[in-house]
Amino acid sequence: MDHLRAVPSGAPSSEGAPEGAVLGDLLARSARGDSQAFAQFYDATSARSYGLALRVVRDPSQAEEVVQEVYLDVWRQSGRYDAGRGSVIGWLLTIVHRRAVDRVRSAEAATRRDATYHQEINPVAHDATAEAAEASLEAHRVRTAMQALTPIQREALELAYFGGYTHTEVATMLDLPVGTAKTRIRDGLIRMRDALGVTTS
C-alpha cells in the first residue's frame, strides 16, 4: 500500500530539523512516558489544536475541554501513531476535529445550528507564539489551494469541516440534491490534496 505524507510544509524549527521530525521525536519520547517531551509537544501544537477546536465548537470553554481531552488521548495513544499514514500534525488535528465535531453534535447547541454561518475563507492567526509564522505560511498555502476549488466545493468543505455539519445537512443548506454534497466534499478535498502536494512517499 502506498504511504501518504504531506510535502513538508512546516517552517524549520530552531534546531534546523523540519517540524515533522521534531514532533515525531517528541511523540516517541512521550510514548516512553517522557512528560517533559510531551510538554514540549503541547507547546509546539496547542495553538493549532485550540484554534481548530474553537473554530468548530465556537464556545471557548468547550473548546478548552475538547483540547484537554485530546491531549490526554494523544498521550495515551502516543505509541500508536503510524508515520506511514500521515504527518504528526495531521494525526493530531484529525483527532481534534473528530472530538470537536462530536462535542458540537452532542451539545445540541441550537444557536449553532441556525443558517447564519460565516464564510471564513481567509483564516487569521490570532497569536504571537512560534506557531504564528508557520500559521500564516499555512494560511497562505490554504488560501492559495482553496482557489483550485469551485465555489460549491469550497462552501461544502467549509460547512462540513469548520461547521461540523453532516453532508446531508450541507446539501440542505446549499440547496443541493441529497447525496450531492458528499461528492462535492470529496472532490474539494481531492483538489486540496493535490494542490497542497500530499503525495506518496
Region 113-142 residues binding another protein, contact defined as CB under 8 A:
123, 125-129, 131-132, 135, 138-139, 141-142
Beta carbon of residue 155, minimum distance to another protein (angstroms, whole number)? 13
Angle at the Cα of 70 from the Cα atoms of 39 and 31, rounded to 5 degrees: 50
d(Cα 95, Cα 153) in Å, to the nearest integer?
23
Which of 54, 112, 155, 176: binder of another protein (CB under 8 A)?
A: 54
Q: Does 23 bind another protein (CB under 8 A)?
A: no
Residues 58-87 that bind another protein (CB under 8 A): 60, 64-65, 67-69, 71-73, 75-80, 85-87
DSSP characters for 64-128?
HHHHHHHHHHHHHHGGG--GGG--HHHHHHHHHHHHHHHHHHHHT-TTTTSS------S------
Residues 162-201 that bind another protein (CB under 8 A): 162, 164-168, 170, 179, 181-183, 185-190, 192-193, 196, 198
Q: Does 149 bind another protein (CB under 8 A)?
A: no
Which of 17, 31, 83, 173: binder of another protein (CB under 8 A)?
A: 31
Beta carbon of residue 124, minimum distance to another protein (angstroms, whole number)? 8
Beta carbon of residue 105, minimum distance to another protein (angstroms, whole number)? 9
- Number of residues located near another protein, criterion CB under 8 A: 94
124 bridge partner residues: none
Helix (H, G, I), strand (E, B) or coil at 200: strand
- Are residues 130 and 44 in contact, defined by beta-carbon separation less than 8 angstroms? yes
6 bridge partner residues: 198
Beta carbon of residue 111, minimum distance to another protein (angstroms, whole number)? 20
- Dihedral, CA atoms, 14, 24, 188, 168, nearest 10 degrees? -130
Beta carbon of residue 165, minimum distance to another protein (angstroms, whole number)? 7
d(Cα 58, Cα 157) in Å, to the nearest integer?
18
Closer of 17 and 123 to another protein (Cβ): 123
